[in-house]
A and B are shown apart, each in its own frame.
Chain A
């Protein structure tokens, strides 16, 4: 068996040849070729909208290609349904989890293929025995009888992977597997991937995170705008040249300088307390300044932003906007007072996915593009065109449903929506989550530009390079409190990590804030 795998090393287990996929109005994939060898991790890279997901959906039988061949183990195959692809050994681990939370781990693993005994009754014994065996192979520390809803996100992901192992897979596709994992949980996933690799499974690994890709993969293939730009051996390349392949030019790595001239305070938060969410939070954002709010998920950062935006009511403290005390009863009040919030979850909170690009763009500022209540469609178009050009939003037309755009472009629509309201204070909650490097750099440059033109900007992020790269000052939060405040240009990474994990060693400023 080992000899065979060794032998097959040169022969790919899977080949995609000249795959073309057209959607009405767009060529999503244009003659893309891609192959996977047994026992290798092949990273697939590309900006949002480059066609990675489409290619994987073609592979998994969700989309029928308009041209090209899928060759699995030297045999040309056509997959009409995802089930067929799965039966043939191709498994996709999704970005969005597709588990039934109210069922046990075992039931989820064998969902749709539950072992039966006579009378078509569920064979519980075998179900749990088989599940336990798979979980052991994955070195999971939870039981097959646990409810999925009681598991952490990382463990849920393990269940997804376990589900894939039911059909002895030949190819496993990981689509952004670490997007929702913490740094502690990632190594477990890496182990699982290496384990699968050792068993001769071919792995396709899609991620925006370069460090992961260089750590795990043997080869890297790059897509750009639906075109195949090439495959390289990971050992023979570096981040810069891969990035260049991805975006077609060398990335001007965010060398736009940070704003340096600040006006008076725009937002002053003093002793803000929301029951069960945050307590005694104080900070200031000046005009023209970018303040980064750094902390782990659950530290209360988004909740502080929501309170400022009128979505939560505070029990103590005060919020001043441009010197005036405000206590918004609704988001409408906040918006009319000049606050904008680009929310954390663009699909649930930021966009009406069924509406077109233009309508989403003007949604927060309808009164500015209407007179006597009637929409002025020419003005609306002008607004859309302006931000579409300014932010290079890639969309076939303003009529395009926002749900059909890629993540980066969706995020730009949300930002455009808020720029159009001409806010005094712009709050961005995780502005670049799940967005490719190209769009990320563009959004960072945009944030700096906005601050330079006088906006007060609060950026909430759990990515250290982002807060360090973008902000003037950094506020660290832990467990609903501000633990420290730093000058972004004079702070060590270890100081930041200590501040957000609740370890002491805080600065004098922080000591003042925590009292």
Chain B
């Protein structure tokens, strides 16, 4: 009798443990997937895990990463920003074009001002006019692309004297052995993460994303807060444009095309909910790096550029599904 009970209990315990491991794995789903794919890539290509390759991947990912830091703030606040790709084109063309005309310092200042202005337009329409962020930023996505073409007259721009300008610092230099874009990415990520977790401002953004009505009923100036998230997003785009323009020393009119989706991909892979009110910059950093490594791995394995797109989005849908499966399981065991 007692032994039968023991056996039963032992069985139940192991069942519990199994459930625990399973839910742990699904909670870490994306990391597990990441490790497996890293392992697979390193089997196919010995370069993959070399230090220089890793540094290259991180450096390449940093442009997407810098933008994603800003967009994550917008998303936590319950909105979307799809205009970042066109904004990146605009800002990069602008800073590169003005470099030779008014000098690097002025070019950078004008570029930041103009980018923030576009962010302010987004923020005004969404924060104060209360228009739907998806529609506004989607419209801005193509409007700004048009603006770029009007500005450049369809011509690509580049910097004439590439060897002799301190502008190269942002995209090409190293400080303490670390590439400047990576440093900038890290710095922005840390600052914004600190702001989001430890300041009243961050708390307000989380509250607005979680329940905009309750936030207003708590005396939070929702319109200003939403407005500000688009300024943060625009500031990050301006930083990314600095890095991109400096690295290439020239720019095509459509250099930022598709970046909005890559940024979104990184954020989703990291696990920040598109519904708002939850998420973190750390998650986004991890998501962006995963995205970078997967794309790099595919490249090293010899897949063409366009195949990466397919694989990337298959992975994203897989990640979202894993996330949902994990949450569904929770639906059966928590209060509702």
User: Beyond A348-B211, A366-B204, A375-B198, is A343–B335 a contact (Cβ under 8 Å)?
Assistant: no
- Contact partner of B213 (CB less than 8 A), chosen from A348, A355, A367, A404, is A348
Interface size class of A (residues with CB under 8 A): 35 or more
User: Which residues 359-411 of A sit at the B interface, judged by CB distance below 8 A?
Assistant: 359, 363-364, 366-367, 370, 373-375, 403-404
**Is there an interface contact between B211 and A375, defined as CB atoms closer than 8 Å?**
no
CB closest residue in chain B, given A340: B219
**Is there an interface contact between B203 and A363, defined as CB atoms closer than 8 Å?**
yes
- The distance in angstroms between the C-alpha atoms of A92 and B207, with both chains bound, is 33
Residue B3 CB within 8 A of the other chain: no
**Is there an interface contact between B200 and A352, defined as CB atoms closer than 8 Å?**
no
CB closest residue in chain B, given A406: B335
**Is there an interface contact between A375 and B200, defined as CB atoms closer than 8 Å?**
yes
CB distance from B213 to the nearest CB of A (A): 5
**B213 contacts across to A, CB distance below 8 A:** 348-349
CB closest residue in chain B, given A417: B218
User: Which residues 38-61 of A sit at the B interface, judged by CB distance below 8 A?
Assistant: 54
**Is there an interface contact between A352 and B219, defined as CB atoms closer than 8 Å?**
no
User: Which residues 185-206 of B sit at the A interface, judged by CB distance below 8 A?
Assistant: 198-201, 203-204, 206
**Is there an interface contact between A354 and B278, defined as CB atoms closer than 8 Å?**
yes
CB closest residue in chain B, given A405: B335
Residue A115 CB within 8 A of the other chain: no
CB closest residue in chain B, given A377: B198
Residue B184 CB within 8 A of the other chain: no
- The distance in angstroms between the C-alpha atoms of A421 and B219, with both chains bound, is 11
- The distance in angstroms between the C-alpha atoms of A375 and B210, with both chains bound, is 19
**A363 contacts across to B, CB distance below 8 A:** 203, 207, 214-215, 218, 220
**B335 contacts across to A, CB distance below 8 A:** 23, 28, 54, 403-404
Residue A320 CB within 8 A of the other chain: no
CB distance from B192 to the nearest CB of A (A): 14
- The distance in angstroms between the C-alpha atoms of A367 and B218, with both chains bound, is 13
**Is there an interface contact between B200 and A373, defined as CB atoms closer than 8 Å?**
yes
Interface size class of B (residues with CB under 8 A): 20 to 34
CB distance from A329 to the nearest CB of B (A): 10
CB closest residue in chain B, given A346: B214
CB closest residue in chain B, given A372: B199
**B219 contacts across to A, CB distance below 8 A:** 331-332, 334-336, 364, 421
- Scan B296-312; emit 1 where CB is below 8 A from any A CB, else 0: 00000000000000000
Residue B334 CB within 8 A of the other chain: yes
- Contact partner of B199 (CB less than 8 A), chosen from A336, A375, A404, is A375
CB closest residue in chain B, given A364: B218
**B200 contacts across to A, CB distance below 8 A:** 366-367, 370, 373-375
**Is there an interface contact between A331 and B210, defined as CB atoms closer than 8 Å?**
no
- The distance in angstroms between the C-alpha atoms of A373 and B215, with both chains bound, is 18
- Contact partner of B203 (CB less than 8 A), chosen from A334, A341, A375, is A375
- Contact partner of B217 (CB less than 8 A), chosen from A63, A350, A354, is A350
- The distance in angstroms between the C-alpha atoms of A112 and B99, with both chains bound, is 65
User: Which residues 267-325 of B sit at the A interface, judged by CB distance below 8 A?
Assistant: 277-278
**Is there an interface contact between A355 and B334, defined as CB atoms closer than 8 Å?**
no
**B210 contacts across to A, CB distance below 8 A:** 352-355
User: Which residues 313-334 of A sit at the B interface, judged by CB distance below 8 A?
Assistant: 330-332, 334
**B211 contacts across to A, CB distance below 8 A:** 348, 351-354
**B334 contacts across to A, CB distance below 8 A:** 23-24, 404
Q: Rank and list the top 9 A-B pairs by shortest CB-CB distance, nearest first.
A: A335-B219, A366-B200, A352-B210, A364-B218, A352-B211, A363-B218, A404-B335, A370-B200, A349-B217
* A residues apposed to B, CB below 8 Å: 23-24, 28, 54, 62-64, 311, 330-332, 334-336, 341, 343, 348-355, 359, 363-364, 366-367, 370, 373-375, 403-404, 417, 421
**Assuming A332-B221, A374-B200, A375-B203, what are 5 further A-B pairs, CB within 8 angstroms?**
A341-B217, A352-B211, A363-B207, A366-B200, A366-B203
Query: What are 7 A-to-B residue pairs whose CB atoms are below 8 Å?
Result: A336-B219, A348-B213, A354-B278, A359-B207, A363-B215, A370-B199, A375-B200
* B residues apposed to A, CB below 8 Å: 198-201, 203-204, 206-207, 210-211, 213-221, 277-278, 332-336
